[in-house]
Amino acid sequence: MPSASKPLTEAALLKMPASAYMNADQLAFFRARLEVLRDEMLSNAADTGATLKENENFADPNDRATVEEEHMLEQRVRDRERKLLKKIHTALTRIDSGEFGYCLETGEPIGLPRLLARPTAEYSIEAQERHEKMEKLRA
C-alpha cells in the first residue's frame, strides 16, 4: 500500500492484483489525475478569454485575417476542451458513486491500461467499438 507521503505511480497501479481493482488508492489516483486535467483546462479557458478580449487594430488585412484564423482555431480547441470538462465532471461523479472503472453497458471492469490512457472512459473497449459501429451505421 502506498503511503500518504508517496503517491501511487502508474507502474505501481499496474502491478496491483486484479482483486485490488478500483480500491481506494486507485480511485484517489484517478481523482487526482482528473482534477489536474480539469484545472489545466479551466486555466486554458481563462487564458483564451483574456486573449480574445484583446482588441488589436491591424492596418494590413492579411494580419487581421491571420489573427482571426488563430482565434477561430483557439475557440475550436476550447470547445473540445469544454466537452471534455463535462466528461471529467461525469467521471468524478462516478468516482464518488463507486461506479468509476466499470463499463456503463456491461458492468465489467474497463481496465487500468484503458483508464490510464483515457481516464474519462465509460465503456470497455469492446462496448466502445460497438457504439462506434452503430454511430457509423446511423451516419
User: CATH assignment of 20-138?
Assistant: 1.20.120.910
Q: Where are the domains of the chain?
A: 20-138
**Per residue in 76-111, pLDDT tens?**
888 888 899 999 999 999 999 999 999 999 999 999
Give me the pLDDT at residue 51, please: 61
**Per residue in 19-71, pLDDT tens?**
999 999 999 999 999 999 999 988 877 766 666 666 666 677 777 788 778 87
Q: What's the predicted TM-score (pTM) here? A: 0.77
Give me the pLDDT at residue 22, please: 96
- What would the 3-class secondary structure string for the chain be? CCCCCCCCCHHHHHHCCHHHCCCHHHHHHHHHHHHHHHHHHHHHHHHHHHHHHCCCCCCCHHHHHHHHHHHHHHHHHHHHHHHHHHHHHHHHHHHHHCCCCECCCCCCECCHHHHHHCCCCCCCHHHHHHHHHHHHHHC
